[in-house]
Amino acid sequence: MKTLVAILAAGESSRFGGRKQFADIHGQPLLQRAQNTVLRADLADCEHCVVVGAFAQEVSTLVKPPFSVVNNPNWQNGIGASIKCAVNEAIERQCSHLLLVLGDQLALTEDDIQLLHANAIAHPDSLICAKYENTLGVPAIFPADRFAQLIAIDDKKGAKCVIHDNQYARVEVALERAKHDLDTQEALRCWTMSVVNNNDKDPT
């Protein structure tokens, strides 16, 4: 089992009002935090990339080895375009699985990533997805036989239609921390306040 871990960070952060990939999250840029979380998970037989789009030149400066940069020239079409870039990268690298992580899921921990990967090892033919607040979503691990579905998704709707396709085997992993993302400045303020209220300790 060879997995490509792809962090999606191509959006222009219009609701956030700036380049949220650079948002300071407990002393480190948001995108760097996402990479560090994945690396701390220390997954076996994995490759790594970050899909960039808006502000690609600047955002790429945050991407550090072993992560490589994958540019999405169609980022304005929606998150589905970034997913397709990640799928094509997984195919090019001859990976059997693709783990999609959103660059702004700031509460995820290495334990969450490890749990998803462990389930993928135990169920290599199944789609492994996060379950939180009565919904299913990413982070999620897709086996190669689902790549064609991902390539065919609507750019504006993302991978949920593939995750919710009940024709195929699926393992749902309870990951409540996956519900937290950073869409607005208010979300950043709330996160910062939660750190302060937790005696200056990162709540993750």
Torsion sign over Cα 106, 110, 111, 115: positive
pTM for the whole structure: 0.92
pLDDT per residue as tens digits for the range 64-85:
999 999 999 999 999 999 999 9
What is the number of structural domains in the chain?
A: 1
Place of tokens 């935090």: 33
pLDDT 10s digits, 49-58: 999 999 999 9
Is the Cα torsion angle 114, 44, 162, 82 positive or negative in sign?
Answer: positive
Helix, coil or strand: residue 156: coil
Give the domain CATH number at 117: 3.90.550.10
Asked, for residue 202, whether it belongs to a domain, the answer is no
Question: Is 198 inside any structural domain?
Answer: no
- Residues 117-139: pLDDT tens digits? 999 999 999 999 999 999 999 99
Q: Kindly report the average pLDDT of the chain as a whole number.
A: 92
Q: How confident is the model at residue 157 (pLDDT cuts 50, 70, 90)?
A: confident
Whether residue 199 lies inside any domain: the answer is no
106: domain range?
Answer: 3-191
